[in-house]
Structure 1
Amino acid sequence: MSQMATMDTTQVIPKTNGVNKDLKQRVVNKLKVFRSKKTGGWYSAFLCLVNQGLVTLSFFGVGVNLVLFLTRVLGQDNATAANNVSQWTGTVYLCSLLGAFISDSYWGRFLTCAIFQLILLMGLVLISLTSWLFLIKPYGCGDGILDCIPPSPIGTALFYLAIYLVALGYGGHQPTIATFGSDQFDEENPKEKISRAAYFGYFYFALNAGSLISNTILVYYEDGGKWTLGFWASTAAGLLGLFVFLVGTPGYRYVKSFGNPLPRVAQVFVAAFRKWGVPNVDEGELYELNGSESSIKGTRKILHSNDFKKLDKAAIVTEEDRQRPVINPWRLCTITQVEEAKCIIRMCPIWLCTIMYSVIFTQMASLFVEQGAVMDATIGKFRLPAASMSAFDICSVLTCTFLYRFMVVPLAGKISGNPRGLTELQRMGVGLIIGMLSMVAAGVTEIFRLRRVIPGHETSSLSIFWQIPQYMLVGASEVFMYVGQLEFFNGQAPDGIKSLGSSLCMASMSLGNYVSSLLVNMVMHITTRGARHGWIPENLNNGHIDRFYFLLFGLALVDLVAFVFFAKWYKGINLEDSTKGGGEKESQVLEKV
């Protein structure tokens, strides 16, 4: 990073009496433009997007067919394989919290991205070697026709070590690269702020572009028994992704880590509890550092808000505090520190409301596939794998991303006056509604499928292409919900926990998997009473997964009501720099659903 990018531009102007203030300002502006051209911008962000696409390709090259590998190569039954995949998937998303925490607290975003990509690459190399040397015996086995020799204990152990290295590497990389890419745009620059919002849309586009290749090309080879070739292709994509990421090293904008946020938040609650009986004071009497420097080094100050007033007690200066020679952070906190804790509390209800959408999204990888497996999937003599229908979801995401960016945003911007089109909360609400419609489409498809069941067979004569609407609707909902989440949690998180904000999206997916499993177990426990088959039996022709889809619609409707309530209640973060120079506060810009 160039020296000009890090120096204070005001220091290079001599303090000479009589110098015209306008001339000074022009010099400062030119230096700022020069600085922005030197580092960051769309070139650096583009490298992050390419990296995201390649890393996603490498990850899904392992994950998309993992359940088939477990059953065909390792010889596991369907239930065991499904549980193992669910646990592995949950681990991936939980690792995102670990990566975000390390990034914000200790390593910084660039180093965190690089290290977790190396871990991912180690896992990919190990799974490629393990499958080649220990598991794919004889060659070409695991294609659904030729059985593999039962794996050795060492081969199985190395395989599990490999896939969990992949989970750790990919999970830790995802939220960090999302935040690091957004760091390439200056939030205080109006033009770059718009570009930063657009970046998150392209980020999700890149993710799905990589996923599309995995779900089509790599799936084809792996399904045909060429597992090792598919894994080595994933390894090559991961290596290329790391190379692309490192190429941009000289031109990136870097944000330093801000220290462990957990003690900072804990100090607020402890200090507030200690002063629980202290009378409230006016806002102007609360403790804050003088000048522009924040108590959290490298971050902007957060202005005081009027909610959660009990926490304000942590910033009340008592006589005991004045008598202490050194400030005890467990007794006295700054306004910025208190507001950081408030921001976390305010985001929690919004985040909890996104979990129900993740439950809907999860059905695409489970019930949608099971439903498609008992439909007519033949095209001439070719039988379309049910899992490959997810390509319609990905195509929907890619299409809707561009439609939203180049059609919806300009149109909505003219109507609302917001250059970003819909606000983050509005987009999340729209995404939830579209996700609900996908459950209706899936339920209706199942009703028609049951009506056309072939007697004596487990399949229906209804074409699998009837599933296209439900996949397309899920894809469209992702563009609004997940991109909106990335922007919202990243934008509303204080400077010291930006990556943690981005990781909340993946944490929502993780809990969505677990809640979905819980709902399935509860539904089956209730609907199988009295020797009934239940809604989701082994033979779907004896069940009613349409009712399960409609149940999810009903639960999502309740969730939508709660989301609208909390969205209207939510108050945006107010950063000190955002109000200088006549700028609007974040809470004024952030419209409600």
Structure 2
Amino acid sequence: SLDIDGNPALKHRTGGWRACRSILGAEFCYCLANNGIMYNLVTYLTTQLHQSNVAAAKNVSTWKATCFLTPLAGAVVADSYWGRYRTMVVACCVGVAGMLMASLSALLPLLIESSSTLSMASAQEFVLFLGLYMIAFGVGGLRPCLMSFGADQFDAGDPSERASKASLFNWYVFTMNCAAVISATGMVWVQDHYGWGLGMGIPAMVLAVGLSCLVAASRTYRFQITRGSPLTRVCQVAVAAVRKFNVAAPGDMALLYELPEDASSMKGVERIEHTTDLEFFDKAAVVTASDEEAPRNPWRLCVVTQVEELKILVRMLPLWACIAFFYTGTAQTKSTFVEQGMAMDARVGALRVPPASLAAFQMLTTIVLIPLYDRVFVPAARKHTGREKGIPDLARIGAGLATAVLAMAAAATVETKRARAARTASILWQAPQFALVGAGELLATIGQLDFFYSQAPPAMKTVCTALGLLAVAAGDYLSSVIVTAVSWATASGGRPGWIPDDLNEGHLDRFFWMMAGLGCLNLVAFTCCAKRYNKSRKTC
């Protein structure tokens, strides 16, 4: 690790919680700003831009998915070229500009007079989505880097710092949810009562404050050296293995190619020992006669450590696919759950509760449970299991997937009751389904972030953190596809379908039951993949 001046980082001056407090502060501001736009976006699209329920839900899911897809590009840039700190600073600037653009879209009717309502709506949509996708690219540089940069501040070789690193992921999500609660309540309230121009302008100012927090503490950080593109290294192994498809691996795996420890390209690189599964990729490290006759071509001959990096990624992919479906369910909190709330009685006493604000129950559940999990459950479980984290990451994730199924079942039950009571159904009936999603986030989201970071090769920490975020993107894209497919399949022949603009004419409950059933199948698949993953690690 280095300090900001490029000198070896001193433990008593850098890293640890002294550095992570600023990083968590930046995370708080980023989440407050991003969620301040995301949580009520479906309302803006339907009430201000007059999009249909299906179009609005699809647009929100697609944009939200893009926000979780761009972190992969941000991770590659951070690990390969700029480093995490510089990537975050640039990304913050792009995000602020995008939020200002989104705010401008709401102000256009006040700034420009137009005789055509249709043309004004089109101009608003263009400026809004330009701003939203600028935000997506800003998020792409922040999401994977903030998390892994925070983990970099702790020395894995120091037992006390290693324990703090395990807690960091819990407090990272705790901070994220505290910001989300303020967004889902205060920010949504401003948007509903004081206008969208102000409601979308405040997030830009908040993100600028986050950038200031990040830069102000730059002298307390520990910086890691970039070592080239990790994805290039992975692609080299795949290409080399294919080119040597007909080459047999040696009986003695010690003959596989490896550079000496004093080689310049291996300095500071943690070697990974050879494992016995996924033997096909070992071909990339087999030394042939042509390899001995010419200088090493990295697209034909790779070191064992490179091969093992690819193996680690391949072993995680089936688990990743199952985790991705979890986020197909949680995506409903930003779309169909909000649309369900818009068809219910939003009055609670003398107050009118914005439907998007019900997401506060989701965040509050996570906020309450994280300290209990970190300070009570983990120490108690550690005494019984002997594990530093209390329970395995995969067990924690599996419990989260099961909780998501319960959330969909609760939403289906509420929808059945709402359809019978129509507008007299109180919006507070939605609270249990949001709370269950919050409990699932505590288990699955934190578990998968910790899992992907801890299992990642040393040179691919940011990329594997982005892999966890990419699961969220895949889930949101799949949600958009499922909503579109269900609408198309159920609305044929002049029928209103399951998710019409007037939910009283549809069957949203059937959609939620379908999601619960698919979640059960996904849980079974995850259990099988987890057993196979653990077995492969023991074999290795």
Q: Give the counterpart letter for 1:48 in structure 2.
A: I
Residue 395 (structure 1) shift: 0.3
Residue 178 (structure 1) shift: 0.8
Q: Which residue of 2 aligns with 1:69?
A: 44
Q: Which residue of 2 aligns with 1:284?
A: 254
Separation in 2, partners of 1:447, 1:509: 28
Q: Which residue of 2 aligns with 1:305?
A: 275
**Please, which of 460, 477, 481 is the counterpart of residue 514 of structure 1?**
477
Q: Give the counterpart letter for 1:291 in structure 2.
A: E
2:453–2:465 contact (8 Å) kept in structure 1: yes
Q: 1:262 to 1:536 in 2, by over 3 A?
A: same
Matched positions, count: 536
Residue 377 (structure 1) shift: 2.5
Q: Which residue of 2 aligns with 1:448?
A: 417
Highest RCO, 1 vs 2 (Cα 8 Å, sep ≥ 6): 2
SS where residue 38 of structure 1 aligns?
coil
- For the pair 1:188 / 2:157, whether they are aligned, the reply is yes
Residue 163 (structure 1) shift: 2.5
Q: 1:336 to 1:123 in 2, by over 3 A?
A: same
Residue 296 (structure 1) shift: 5.7
Q: Which residue of 2 aligns with 1:211?
A: 180
Separation in 2, partners of 1:463, 1:270: 59
Q: Which residue of 1 aligns with 2:34?
A: 59
- For the pair 1:490 / 2:465, whether they are aligned, the reply is no
**Please, which of 110, 124, 138 is the counterpart of residue 99 of structure 2?**
124
Q: Give the counterpart letter for 2:279 in structure 1.
A: K
Which consecutive unaligned segments of at least 5 residues does structure 1 have? Answer: 8-33, 140-146, 454-458, 574-586
* CA RMSD in angstroms, aligned pairs only: 2.8
Separation in 1, partners of 2:150, 2:126: 36
Residue 330 (structure 1) shift: 2.1
Q: Which residue of 2 aligns with 1:322?
A: 292
SS where residue 389 of structure 2 aligns?
coil
1:5–1:39 contact (8 Å) kept in structure 2: no
**Please, which of 291, 308, 324 is the counterpart of residue 355 of structure 1?**
324
Separation in 2, partners of 1:297, 1:349: 33
SS where residue 425 of structure 2 aligns?
coil
Residue 73 (structure 1) shift: 4.2
Residue 385 (structure 1) shift: 1.8
Q: Structure 1 or 2: larger helix share?
A: 2
Where do residues 249-264 of structure 1 align in structure 2 (5 Å cutoff)?
249-264=218-233
Q: Tell me which moved more, 362-371 or 467-476.
A: 362-371
1:258–1:296 contact (8 Å) kept in structure 2: no
Q: Give the counterpart letter for 2:164 in structure 1.
A: S
Residue 50 (structure 1) shift: 0.9
Residue 388 (structure 1) shift: 1.1
**Please, which of 198, 205, 208 is the counterpart of residue 229 of structure 1?**
198
SS where residue 438 of structure 2 aligns?
helix
**Please, which of 86, 90, 101 is the counterpart of residue 76 of structure 2?**
101
- The C-alpha deviation readout for 1:559-590, integer Å capped at 9, x for no partner, is 111111111121599xxxxxxxxxxxxx5799
Q: Which residue of 2 aligns with 1:401?
A: 370
Q: Tell me which moved more, 366-375 or 401-410.
A: 366-375
Q: Give the counterpart letter for 1:546 in structure 2.
A: D
SS where residue 120 of structure 2 aligns?
coil
2:42–2:334 contact (8 Å) kept in structure 1: no
2:241–2:284 contact (8 Å) kept in structure 1: yes
Q: Tell me which moved more, 232-241 or 532-541.
A: 532-541
Q: Give the counterpart letter for 2:531 in structure 1.
A: K
Q: 1:229 to 1:3 in 2, by over 3 A?
A: closer
Q: 1:263 to 1:564 in 2, by over 3 A?
A: same
Residue 526 (structure 1) shift: 3.8
**Please, which of 463, 466, 470 is the counterpart of residue 429 of structure 2?**
466
1:296–1:337 contact (8 Å) kept in structure 2: no
Q: 1:504 to 1:292 in 2, by over 3 A?
A: same
2:61–2:479 contact (8 Å) kept in structure 1: no
Separation in 1, partners of 2:337, 2:131: 28
Separation in 1, partners of 2:428, 2:121: 41
Q: Which residue of 2 aligns with 1:546?
A: 509
Where do residues 548-587 of structure 1 align in structure 2 (5 Å cutoff)?
548-570=511-533, 587=537
Provide the TM-score with structure 1 as the length reference: 0.84
1:73–1:148 contact (8 Å) kept in structure 2: no
Which consecutive unaligned segments of at least 5 residues does structure 2 have? Answer: none
Separation in 1, partners of 2:481, 2:100: 35
Q: Give the counterpart letter for 1:302 in structure 2.
A: I
Q: Give the counterpart letter for 2:418 in structure 1.
A: R
- The C-alpha deviation readout for 1:151-171, integer Å capped at 9, x for no partner, is 387666444332322221123
Q: 1:442 to 1:130 in 2, by over 3 A?
A: closer
- The C-alpha deviation readout for 1:364-386, integer Å capped at 9, x for no partner, is 11221222222233223432222
Q: 1:356 to 1:292 in 2, by over 3 A?
A: farther
1:73–1:136 contact (8 Å) kept in structure 2: no
Separation in 2, partners of 1:155, 1:449: 34
- For the pair 1:424 / 2:376, whether they are aligned, the reply is no
